[in-house]
Amino acid sequence: MTAPPTVEIVGGVEVPTGLFIGGQWIPGERTLDVRDPAADRRLSGVADAGVTDALDAVSAAHAAFGPWASAALRTRAEILRRAFEIMTAELDECARLIVLENGKSWADARGEAAYAAEFFRWFSEEACRVPGDFRMAPAGDKTIVVDHRPVGVAYLITPWNFPAAMATRKLAPALAAGCTAVLKPAGETPLTALWVARVLQRAGVPDGVVNVIATSRPGPVSELVLADRRVGALSFTGSTPVGKILLGQTARRALPSSMELGGNAPLLVLEGADVQDAVAGAMVAKMRNGGSACTAANRFYVHESLVTEFADAFEKALSTLSIGSGLDPANDLGALVSVRERDKVLDLVRRAEQEGGRPSASGTAPTTGAFLSPYVVRGVRHGQTLTREEIFGPVAPIVTVDSTDQAIAMANDTDYGLISYVFAKDRAEGISVARRLESAMVAVNRGVASDPAAPFGGMKESGLGREGGFAGIHEFLETQYIAVDL
């Protein structure tokens, strides 16, 4: 194990800032600046990978593949388990880095770090549990043997909104399956990914099994990596437009591709629902991560009998949030990832107003840094901008509906199909409505669904494939059938 020569202390946390290739921490020729959105200033710099570095990372991952793929399942499981234990013991460090480079609140960052560590635990357990198949063919002429093999080098691309969890949600199943990995984190949040890679190194991951290349040139770097025959799969989490560009590239090689893309989550408050429960759920579904989540409730369809009560209570709850730096655990709402991202969200609020919506802000946001007060926007009509665009910030457009059928029709009227939230009078109604929703995940009478033990993914343009649960490891496995003569 080589100690990183390129270490920086960022916010009191020791973090490697080099490229991580073949078990070595390598200073890059160029530097990628990392900013602190809460202070709106430079935080640190990491090595900025170019195309040669990316190909070096692929070579290292390719060289490490054979031994890792044939390592005992238990060996891989135990390394992942150690990674879980190290990370769990150091959650505060991870959370600090997340806050510093992403801006979110302390509770959200700590929650993310714990959720991220859980993927190591879950897939340490799954590593030994992939069933095969051995049986007689119905015609009685042969034996059917079905087994699974790792796809090879996995290229993993992650977004900035969950810099730890999106990395572990891919790394853990890839490693459990016997794949080696090249991880390309988002340029805004590379520090957390490098810290996670160091955890894996300390847990005993052999050199070359995990490689990390942060880069300011994701387009050319990724195109080259995906064209390389040594790469066996792509797993991408990010926006739908970038996902489609990448699918175009992977199509050239018919490369297995898992896509976790954008969302436009509806939250339904149906006639007879408990308004206080719906508001509590909405606070989580909308405000977790300051609204910068693919799973964030993006549009609220509320029955006309409850709409005023719901909007008033939601606004009241939002007004109690204190807004400020995530380094202070007393703050409930942190900064968005950048001033640019904040301005994009504000622009959506302005457009909603031009379209006849009535935005009202709650709480007081600091004036420096990428902070934004939460908004409830009343009087929005289905089809207007806020119900179509992924907002990615603390803005809640409220649409009045006159029936459950209308709420479902509007909820399904989108190209996305990631998650929906349903607040119904009881579980039975919630489940029956869930079955009519075109979304891969539905949370009934609760504001969060994500769980490492459950399949996460999207229908329609929200993605292909599933992460987590029993399905997650299969994104990194090929099925092989061997016909054996009797």
Contact pattern from residue 216 through residue 235 relative to ligand NAD, giving x for each residue in contact according to CB under 6 A and a dash for the rest: --xx--x-------------
Dihedral, CA of residue 419, residue 420, residue 425 and residue 429, to nearest 10: -70
Least distance in angstroms from the C-beta of 90 to ligand NAD: 23
d(CA 343, CA 55) in angstroms, rounded, equals 36
Per-residue burial over 245-261, b = 16 or more CB atoms within 10 Å of its CB, e = otherwise: ebbebbeeeebbbbbbb
d(CA 313, CA 66) in angstroms, rounded, equals 58
Binding flag, residue 458, ligand NAD (CB under 6 A):
yes
d(CA 179, CA 205) in angstroms, rounded, equals 12
Considering CB under 6 A, how many residues would be counted as binding ligand NAD? 28
Binding flag, residue 369, ligand NAD (CB under 6 A):
no
Strands 375-378, 257-260: pairing kind:
unpaired
Tokens at residue 247, please?
């699918």
Cβ distance to ligand NAD smaller for residue 147 or 223: 223
Binding flag, residue 238, ligand NAD (CB under 6 A):
yes
Least distance in angstroms from the C-beta of 294 to ligand NAD: 3
355 is catalytic: no
Find tokens 């150091």 and name the residue: 90
Least distance in angstroms from the C-beta of 300 to ligand NAD: 18
Which three-class secondary structure state does DSSP give residue 183? strand
Q: Which residue is nearest to ligand NAD (CB)?
A: 238
Residues 281-300 that bind ligand NAD (CB under 6 A): 294
Helix (H) or strand (E) holding 297: strand 297-303
Tokens at residue 83, please?
């990674």
Q: In the set 242, 377, 422, 424, which binds ligand NAD (CB under 6 A)?
A: 242
Cβ distance to ligand NAD smaller for residue 93 or 461: 461
Least distance in angstroms from the C-beta of 341 to ligand NAD: 8
Q: Give the DSSP per-residue string, 374-439.
A: -EEEES--TTSHHHHS---SSEEEEEEESSHHHHHHHHH-SSEESEEEEE-SSHHHHHHHHTTS--
Which three-class secondary structure state does DSSP give residue 322? coil
Contact pattern from residue 413 through residue 452 relative to ligand NAD, giving x for each residue in contact according to CB under 6 A and a dash for the rest: -----x----------------------------------
- CB of 394 closer than 8 Å to CB of 314: no
Which three-class secondary structure state does DSSP give residue 394? coil
Which three-class secondary structure state does DSSP give residue 96? helix
Binding flag, residue 159, ligand NAD (CB under 6 A):
yes
Of 16-24, 25-33, 159-167, 197-205, which segment contacts ligand NAD by CB under 6 A? 159-167
User: One of 260, 315, 341, 390 is an active-site residue; which one?
Assistant: 260
Cβ distance to ligand NAD smaller for residue 232 or 463: 463
d(CA 196, CA 178) in angstroms, rounded, equals 18
Residues 69-108 that bind ligand NAD (CB under 6 A): none
Q: In the set 56, 118, 260, 429, which binds ligand NAD (CB under 6 A)?
A: 260
Binding flag, residue 370, ligand NAD (CB under 6 A):
no
Q: Which residues are catalytic?
A: 260
Q: Which residues bind ligand NAD (CB under 6 A)?
A: 157-162, 166, 184, 186-187, 218-219, 222, 237-239, 242, 245-246, 260-263, 294, 390, 418, 458, 463
